Structures are given as structure tokens and as C-alpha cells.
Amino acid sequence: MEENRMKNIAILGSTGSIGTNTLEVAAHLGYEVSALAAHSNIDLLEAQVQKFHPKCVAVFDRERGEELKRRLPDTPIVFGMEGLVEAATLPEVDFVVSAIVGAAGIVPTLRAIETGKTIGLANKEVLIAAGELIMEAAKKQNVQILPIDSEHSAIFQCLQGESPSAVDRLILTASGGPFRNYSYQELEAVKPEKALNHPNWKMGKKITIDSSTLMNKGLEVIEAKFLFNTPVEKIAVVVHPQSIVHSLVEYVDGSLIAQMGVHDMRVPIQYALTYPERKKGISPCFDFQKWSKLEFFKPDLKKFPCLRLAYEAAKVGGTLPCFMNGANEVLVHHFLEGKIRWVEIGQKLETLMEAHKAYPQESLETLLEVDKEARTLAMTL
């Protein structure tokens, strides 16, 4: 096999958990980091700049960006959405890690695709809100979108060398979150600190709350629909508390192929960065004695209605997934601020989705308007 050349990468969302892990992997592989982008955590971003010396640094929050510019006067620093786009489209960059949380990642990811960059996708909202446009642009530019989420990376790995016609089902595994065994009464009293205590993964606040409601898994269903060009009816979810089997593919002959491993996001990140090769990683060897018991359960859609709502959005398509995503982000934020209860995230989201009349994804501008509408309406509930 031809030796995999050194990549030149940009990281959108460099101060988040995916971003920091990507930098660790990039350093291990010896890849050059030419662009870093973050929302507002300039303390960590400053340390990253001093270590990796990128050619371009973007800060979404202009005020914080100006502060970083005062600290690093010799470093090119750009701001806002224009800054994110500049970082994503830097000429020397050939691989863009899209890990910005929320809808803010849509525009820079699309622009990176339009300039021919390979995408390592960790931002779910890019495909949830604009999947049709993103995949159409990637096809037009002949750009690869490589999944970084552990579940989608697992499916991607399990599909290697197989014919699409041989696939019967894609099976996403879910940990079940911290409330898998809670009663309805216990769910009524859930507080943010409990919801933020995920049993298996250390992630940002928004994705951790989404994991507790199973919305995260619902978003992954929609993402899988686009990434693997698979009807939603052929995408299943199974609760697997240990999170060792990251996902599975079931083939028409009854065979199940699974990808397994420790709880370490550096594994799928490195697979995306080195694809189609594999290189020596930095994760510990798997301990079979520690993980001698693996369990699988059916998700409870009554206790976790967000998963059901995401399936419905995936089936309807058009603007509904975008609307659902925007509204959910606001409701999660309201829960974290103590304005609504945990159970109200799903309840209010269903009310909002029922009132939205979905229509085709005509343009990026259309989707950004839908996202804005969803957030405005969610603010009023």
C-alpha cells in the first residue's frame, strides 16, 4: 500500500473535547496544524497556538478574539463566521475537522467542501440541519466526508470491502445515558448536575444532555441516513450500557460485523485522519477481564421521546430535522439554566415540531432561516 502522506489540517472547534483529542492525535502522527478555530475559550486556544503555531486562528466571539490578538500580536487572528470560513478554506489545508458544536458549523463546513477539503465530521448538526445540501456539495466536488463520531466511524469501518446491496441494517449502539434505569417519577425530578454525569464519556454540556435524553442517538440516526445513503427504516438503535461495541452492521446473510474498543475518541479521530491506512495509535490495549460482560436492550421510547421524534424527523425530511435541531439546542440550554425540567425538553420539542410544516431544503439561506425560526419559537415556550 502506498505510504499515507502527512496531512495538513484545520480544526474547527479546537478547544472542545474532539478538538483537544485531535490535536493530541495530530502531534502523535506528525501532521501539521495550519488553522485553529474556537468559540471563546481563548485561554486554552492561546496555549494551543503556542504549541502548534498555526497560520490562521479564528475566534467566533469577536470581543474574546480581540483579547487574544492583544496577547498574541504576531499571530494572524480572524473573527466571527467570516473567520471560521477563512480557517476552513485556508489554501494549504487539505483536511478539515468539523467539531464546532451546533449550527455554527454548517457554513464553514460547506465552504470547506466547496474548496475541495476532505472533511472529518464530528459536528452532528451539519448533517442534521443541512444533510441534503452537504452531501450534494460533497458529491459535486468529489469530497470525502469521513465520520469521527465513534458510532459512525464504527459503521464506516464495518462497511469496508462490502457491497451496499449486502447490507440489511445499520445498528447504532447507545449507552442509555445516566437515566436508563430511572422511573418516570425519577425523571420528573432530574437536575442538570445529574444529567451532566454521563456514565461512559466525557463530553461537552450540550451533547451530554442530548445523550441523557437519547436525542444524541436520534441525531446519529439522521446523520447515518446521509453518511451511508441508507433509508431510516434500515437504521436501528440498541442500548448497550458498556459502550464497548460502538456500532454494528447486519448483512443480508445474517452476519453481524461489529467494531469494538475502549472509551477513547482518539481511535475514531485517528482512523479518519489516516484513512485508508491504519497507523500505530496511542490508546491502551483492550482489557477483556475488565469488560467481560456486554449487555444489549431495546430503547424505551416512552421514557425517551426525543429518539422517537428524531426518527419522525428523519422520515419526513426536508426542513424538519433542521427545525428540530435548532429547537432542541434552545430547550437544552433552558434546562441547563433551570428554566425548564428535563422531561420538558421532549414535551416542548414535540409541541414545536407538530406546528412546523416541513418543506424541501431549497438553499442554505432557507435552512438558516428555519434554524432561526425554531430557536425563536423555542425561546417563547
Closest CA to 41 of 67, 22, 74, 64: 64
149 labelled as ligand-binding? yes
**Final residue belonging to a domain, choices 123, 147, 171:** 147
61 labelled as ligand-binding? no
Please give the pLDDT value at position 366: 92
Closest CA to 17 of 268, 265, 283: 265
Q: What is the pTM of this model?
A: 0.93
41 labelled as ligand-binding? yes
* Parts of the chain with a pLDDT under 70: 1-5, 201
Is residue 51 located within the same domain as residue 78? yes
Is residue 128 located within the same domain as residue 15? yes
Question: Rg of the chain's alpha carbons, rounded to an integer?
Answer: 20
125 labelled as ligand-binding? yes
Please give the pLDDT value at position 197: 85
Is residue 91 located within the same domain as residue 235? no
Is residue 108 located within the same domain as residue 218? no
CATH number of the domain that residue 57 is part of: 3.40.50.720
> 11: which strand partners?
36, 97
Is residue 141 located within the same domain as residue 159? no
15 labelled as ligand-binding? yes
Residue 285 belongs to some domain of the structure: yes
Is residue 160 located within the same domain as residue 301? yes
What's the chain look like in SS3?
CCCCCCCEEEEECCCCHHHHHHHHHHHHHCCEEEEEEECCCHHHHHHHHHHHCCCEEEECCHHHHHHHHHHCCCCCEEEHHHHHHHHHCCCCCCEEEECCCCHHHHHHHHHHHHCCCEEEECCHHHHHHHHHHHHHHHHHHCCCEEECCHHHHHHHHHHCCCCHHHEEEEEEEECCCCCCCCCHHHHHCCCHHHHCCCCCCCCCHHHHHHHHHCHHHHHHHHHHHHHCCCCHHHEEEEECCCCCEEEEEEECCCCEEEEECCCCCHHHHHHHHHCCCCCCCCCCCCCCCCCCCCCCECCCCCCCHHHHHHHHHHHHCCCHHHHHHHHHHHHHHHHHCCCCCHHHHHHHHHHHHHHCCCCCCCCHHHHHHHHHHHHHHHHHC
Please give the pLDDT value at position 198: 77
Residue 305 belongs to some domain of the structure: yes
Matching residue, cell 442517538: 217
123 labelled as ligand-binding? yes
Model confidence over 55-93: pLDDT tens digits? 999 999 999 999 999 999 999 999 999 999 999 999 999
151 labelled as ligand-binding? yes
Please give the pLDDT value at position 13: 97
Is residue 217 located within the same domain as residue 82? no
220 labelled as ligand-binding? yes
Is residue 297 located within the same domain as residue 172? yes
Residue 282 belongs to some domain of the structure: yes
204 labelled as ligand-binding? yes
Residue 197 belongs to some domain of the structure: yes
198 labelled as ligand-binding? yes
Question: Structural domain of residue 121, as residue ranges?
Answer: 8-147
Number of domains within the chain? 2
